[in-house]
Chain A
């Protein structure tokens, strides 16, 4: 196997990392701020993917089959808003009773995820549906002879980079972002200083969910989407968060890179299923040594 295969694997790993990063960012922020693990996060991804499908079907009906490119571009911010809205409502109705109660959070949000999945099955059918990729994303660029970098994966990389930069600017350059970081680091003190922690919580959850929605857009480019699409990514996303450490952007990025790049590498040297198994075992072993993950918030608390 030549250098092209290795490079192509690394590239595949990067594109996988970018999807994981989009999903994991939302989770990490949510868990960092609220101590709530949201098991319905995968379903926000699914919602985002279905938005792409619905919009495309709509555009096909109205404008014929040539409009897939335009519909896709519009569906990216639309997925964000729909998923964010769903997250906002979920937070107001359910999540806010779960703060600081992670076990309850897991179970209640798992229940939510079941309901959302079944709703998707009832609305769209149990079968997976196919989203036609826009024509300008078909094919790829020939980086080296024998190494084709598909445009859709490059697009996903670009999209993720844009999102990460956006989140970074938001967190570190705006007042609202500063408030979010404050609540993440010390909730009580932030409240004492006059920050409306409830508003920050709701907004943060919505933001995290919106990111998952964008991840859904990305996923729709890669394969078919269906009610259980979210489930395919949720465990990996959790491992990203646990590996990278919660509460820090760098942690999630590191976690996503490690998980995303190592997965195809292990797949290459063994088989598809063993690749993931080896990766997970390694991550678990790593966590024995460093339970807080790669990067984490340093606090003085014992727990």
Chain B
């Protein structure tokens, strides 16, 4: 059973590592890398389900009769490209946040936001 389910357990481990990086680290770029690790672990899951023992790549040739399942390959091809689109947009948001707040650490950004909010409340009262 270990050999049969090894791929799936490694996928769960990678998913949890990606989740941990996203929630426990404060640096925005580290969070984006954690998101990429999470996405890649899902790709690994789909592709390892698609594999058939004794099969070959799904390109038709005369001397092969058993092929791996092509449908998850198609889904993951779309997912990889959507992942890079998400990463590019997230990185451009990080650049703008750096220009606006001067830092990309979550705690410092939170502090500056709280400061601005309390100044606005004080200014609103007087």
| Genuine A/B complex | no
